[in-house]
Amino acid sequence: MSGDADHDVCGMSMAIDVVGGKWKLHLMWALSASPQRFGEVRRLLTGVSEKVLSENLRQLEASGIVHREIYPEIPPRVEYSLTPLGEELAVALKPLEDWGDKHRDELLGKTLASVV
């Protein structure tokens, strides 16, 4: 019997492993509309450092969520886009975004109340 521990991990844990962290969901949002260059993504995601952005893009690429395309130009142009797996994940995450939009005011009120 091959009791692989990997097969016992629930789907939610697998998904959170892929998109966990502060920036990965934001990155997926930025790439969901169209392929983007590194600088374009950085401008869309206010507050992320180049180092963190680069690390997160590499992790999403390693997970098969993001594709990195290098164009043979001088200087080289690199674009990032969602893979079919990443596009499917973005569709699955859309209800979460909708929920956040729907409850934005209520959630912001609770967040601000807990700070004061």
Of 104, 25, 24, 37, residue with least CA distance to 76: 37
Domains in the chain: ranges and CATH: 5-115 (1.10.10.10)
DSSP string covering 9-62? S-HHHHHHHHH-SSSHHHHHHHHHSS-EEHHHHHHHSTT--HHHHHHHHHHHHH
The one-digit pLDDT tens for each residue of the chain (116 residues) are 444 555 667 888 888 888 888 899 999 989 998 999 999 999 999 999 999 999 999 999 999 999 999 999 898 899 999 999 999 999 998 898 899 899 888 888 876 666 55
What token pair was written down for 9? 């991990």
Distance from C-alpha of 75 to C-alpha of 94, rounded to nearest angstrom: 36
The pLDDT assigned to 3 comes to 47
Q: What is the pTM of this model?
A: 0.79
Token pair 């590194």 in the structure block, residue: 38
Distance from C-alpha of 111 to C-alpha of 40, rounded to nearest angstrom: 30
